Structure 1
Amino acid sequence: MRLVVCLFLFLVPTLNYGFKKNVTPYSIVISKAVLIVDGTISKVFKNDYQFTINEFVKGKSSQKINVTIWKEWICDPRIKQLRAGQRLILFLEKSTNGNYYPINDSTGELYVDNNTFIDIFLPKDFTNPTVLKKGICMFLETYKCYGNLSDRFYSNMYFVRNKSIFEIYEMKMTNSSFAYLVDGAEYYKVNEFQQFQFIKNYSTNSKTANSSG
């Protein structure tokens, strides 16, 4: 019996790793989202819920949308039961049936109570909804993502920013959520827009000159 218990304890870390959720960075979640919205649940059905949007952070749609209920599993349980009146900030993609669905399940569905996030596993820099929404807007104004966002290893995508690293540094000082998102994006070796444009134009001009020569 003792041997069985020891074997079980030895295997538990391996089993947990096998069921570990593949977390999508929020810099990519924001880039993938067709809608980022703040609002409340109006009605809950069997497979989806009706959501009333109070603020559009990214994208536009009708004021009321239907959001697919993602299925919980051992490494991605829901924070609270879905109920009418619950405030959420949602990061959404749109399915072929017209419904929206949260990106990466719980990653795209943030519960808000008393203007505070209740998920203890959220980044500490997501201090409150106001700071996060402002940070997202700053990020969208500064960074653009290109390439295949469906690639789970993100090997065929890159970010381009339209400000210098010195401007970015000053902006990071004003919003902790923006700073967190920037650090996530910069991991992918971001191109600065001015430099990226120069290289692109130089390459095009060189090809033209070689062709005419």
Structure 2
Amino acid sequence: MRLVVCLLLFFIPTLNYGFKKNVMPYSIVISKAVLIVDGTISKVSKDEYQFKIDEFVKGKSNPKINVTIWKEWICDPRIKELKTGQRLILFLEKSPNGNYYPINYSTGELYVDNNAFIDIFLPKDFSNPEALKQGIRMFLEIYKCFGDLNNRFYANIYFVRNKSIFEIYEMKMTNSSFGYLVDNADYFKVIEFLQFQFFKNYSVNSNTANSAG
């Protein structure tokens, strides 16, 4: 029996490399979220926890919501045990039964202790909760995502921004979290709003002309 346990302890770290979590970019997470909130756990049960919202970053809901507890696995363990009083910043979608659930599991459930994030794997530009929340608000004011956000390969996704690249550059200097999200979005196609309107109007006019012809 002892030999079996030893062998398991030896092979489990090796097996970990055979599994990899699908990492979802935070620019997509923020765009998908119906709620982004800051608050504390008020009650924990078997399959869900009750969450008291202190601040809405995106969206609106009741001040107390139920959040489904996602199941841990090898490549996505929970940072620490869920307990009453634990502060979290949550990026949430809503299920048909009315409960909310964190997007991409641990990606959408950020633990906060002493006004600091405790997940060492978070982007270094997520320096503290206040800076992150401000960066998210800045991002949401300027960028809008289009395309199928449920496509795991993010095919045909693009962002439209309503400020110039020069304005964006200056804003990035004021908030590193915003800067990270901008760079994150740049992995996808990004166009300015005026360009977007031009292509949209061109497409409508072309379709009208073709119909008339």
Shared fold by TM > 0.5? yes
1:150-202 per-position Cα deviation (integer Å, ceiling 9, x unaligned)? 00000132111111111111110110000000001111021111111112223
3-state SS in 2 of match to 1:183? helix
Deviation of 1:207 (Å): 4.4
Partner residue, 1:41: 41
1:85-106 per-position Cα deviation (integer Å, ceiling 9, x unaligned)? 0000000000011100000000
CA RMSD of aligned residues (A): 1.9
Partner residue, 1:107: 107
3-state SS in 1 of match to 2:41? strand
Partner residue, 1:93: 93
Partner residue, 2:174: 174
Percent identity (aligned): 80
TM-score (structure 1 length as normaliser)? 0.91
Partner residue, 1:30: 30
Partner residue, 1:116: 116
Q: For 1:17 and 1:78, locate their aligned partners in 2 and report how far apart those are by CA, in whole Å.
A: 18
Partner residue, 1:83: 83
Partner residue, 1:134: 134
Q: For 1:158 and 1:141, locate their aligned partners in 2 and report how far apart those are by CA, in whole Å.
A: 16
Runs of 4+ in 1 over 2 A off after TM superposition: 15-18, 202-213
Are positions 1:148 and 2:115 aligned together? Answer: no
Partner residue, 2:4: none
Change beyond 3 A, Cα 1:71–1:209: closer
User: Aligned letter for 1:121?
Assistant: F
TM-score (structure 2 length as normaliser)? 0.91
Partner residue, 1:16: 16
Q: For 2:26 and 2:82, locate their aligned partners in 1 and report how far apart those are by CA, in whole Å.
A: 23
Q: For 1:21 and 1:212, locate their aligned partners in 2 and report how far apart those are by CA, in whole Å.
A: 51
User: Aligned letter for 1:46?
Assistant: K
Stretches of structure 2 lacking an aligned partner (at least 5 in a row): 1-6
